[in-house]
Amino acid sequence: MMMAADLHIHSGLSPCANKDMTPNNIIGMAKLKRLDIIAITDHNCTKNLQSFIKVAETQDLICIPGVEITTKEEVHLIALFNNLNASNKFQEILDNTLPKIKNNPKLFGNQYIYDEEDNILEDYHILTMNALDLSLKEAISQVKKIGGICIPAHIDRHSFSILSNLGFIESDLCLNTVEITKNCNYNLLLKKHPYLESYNKIISSDAHELGQILEREFFIDTNNKKIEDILKSINEN
């Protein structure tokens, strides 16, 4: 079956996202746009996932636990996990590798952790936008160890992408899937990087505002609604 998805959405925990990116607002907008699957992927932090998943379950929407990693090379990488337990394990890695620099909300924005009723539980104090003390290879390895998958984020952008920062995708990274933005000229990208033809691709919004969440624009062909099977469908090659 074909399921409409947006696998790169930021909540108010990301300092660059609007404060109305709460569980009920995002889930409500995703339902309004008739999406079947979303992923919450905040910068270097997974602490909002539980409340989002709880709200999504009440609305018959699949919410995949995720995170947007910034590696040492300042490459953005989407990590998606089978369940909350795996994302919680990865949070331990984030706690150990994210520099302990205090956030300045006036400069960077607030980092809100919500409950399932959109109440603010905490303004997270460690700035999440810094690069982790993990290389790209190390980050991919750590995600795979706990059963997650990695997808280089917005590879068509001129900053914070694997192509803009490193120039190419090394085959020994063993990646199967890449993410592009919905405005990407993929044929032009293929002319510059013909090897991308062998990769699966997803299209995501990287939404920081409610209106940016995708419509029914990208679809995943999956046999059922289990997250494990959805991730296999995304990453099979």
Residue range 31-38: average pLDDT?
98
CATH of the domain at 7: 3.20.20.140
Contacts of 44 (CB under 8 A, 6+ apart): 67, 68, 69, 70, 94, 98, 128, 129, 130, 132
Whether 201 has a pLDDT exceeding 80, the answer reads yes
Angle between helices 49-58 and 84-97 (to 10 degrees): 160
Would you say residue 98 has pLDDT above 80? yes
- Total domains in the chain come to 1
Within 10 A of 103 (CB to CB), how many other CB atoms are there?
Answer: 19
More confident residue, 236 or 143: 143
pLDDT (mean) for 54-58: 97
Residue 195 domain boundaries:
2-235
pLDDT digits (tens, 9 = 90+) for 122-179: 999 999 999 999 999 999 999 999 999 999 999 999 999 999 999 999 999 999 999 9
| Residue 175 contacts residue 98 (beta carbons within 8 Å) | no
Nearest in space to 98 (alpha carbons), one of 76, 77, 128: 128
- Per-residue pLDDT band at 237 (split at 50, 70, 90): low
As a whole number, mean pLDDT of residues 58-77 equals 97
